[in-house]
Structure 1
Amino acid sequence: MLLTEKLKDTNIILASQSPRRKELLAGLGLQFSTISLNIDETFDRNEFKKEQITEYLSAKKAKAYTDIQSNDLIITSDTTVWVDDESLEKASNREEAYEMIKKLSGKRHSVYTSVTIRSLEKEVTFSDETQVTFADLTDDEIYFYIDNYKPFDKAGAYGVQEWIGYIGVDNMNGSYFNVMGLPTHKLYKELVKF
């Protein structure tokens, strides 16, 4: 039985306002609604590394939704960029975005996305990693991207589906959609099992 048929009577709720996550979930052929959750996204940088960060935050978002009903299925997600033993989340201004992209320039980094699926009966959290290698980027290229695309809502201050992905990504090992913010291949399999 296809996933769309299996979940046709399920109220799927994507707890994200990310246009990219909405687009990717819609790409699976599912009907869903969206909500916004305001949670404190701080974490202990000594305690959490790599996908532990995104797993912690994704599960925290899922637990923050308290109005869950019997046929609800909540989907939450979190993404981080990991380079030089450091997590790069969202940049808060132009200079922070520049510093982040400069750190990625000419190097390989990992993008971790974790997803939590929660119902009244159970909850599962899983992760995916994609390794991305950036070309050497000039300051002019970095500032052009920041000034024209305003990537302040994205982990690592870049969107792979935008101009910088077209000119800056030399190599990728893993899921492109994971870098966009939702590992659709894994989400599909987990929803089938769930």
Structure 2
Amino acid sequence: MLRSAGLNSLKVSSKALLRTTACRGLTMSAVRLNAQPTGTAASGTGKPMVVDRELPDPMADRKKQWLGFAAFTVAVSSALAIIFNYEKTENPIISDTLYQLRKSPITNEWLGDNIEFDGIVPWVYGKLNPVAGKINITFYIKGSKNQSGMVRLVADRENRHDEFLIHEWSLTVNDKVFDLLGESSSKTLNRN
């Protein structure tokens, strides 16, 4: 019994010792966290922040900034123009027009076979807006005879359910204008 009482008191005293040690450890940790080192700006007794060199002047090199902005504007505008032109060249109306030009006897006579866009970068000038029903475009083509020509297509339509009515479709080679609309049996474009 004495032994068990001694063991029980030892257990109780060891638990109490652990509790007080743990409480002291937590208290010391809390004191360390709340304390701030002396001489810092947070305590208000430290040195103020000092900039040891002069700040850059935002108005300096104004010409360089404007040149950079101008170069950026030109680059973005050029990229947008190339993207929009690519959309025009890949339009089904242009594809259909090139197909009709490849079948045209006048085009084959003056330009030869293998009709394609002229130049390294094909460019379609003018307005090509099938949704609004307005087409007024010009582009250059070439054939196997190393001769280039300019194609002009003007068409419109009243609403989305109608076909495009062609007003002008011509090929210009060496300042000679050929009416391609006259040789075509259809006066409309079938594309919607």
- Decide: shared fold, TM above 0.5: no
The structure where helix makes up a greater share of residues is: 2
Structure 2 length-normalised TM: 0.27
Structure 1 length-normalised TM: 0.27
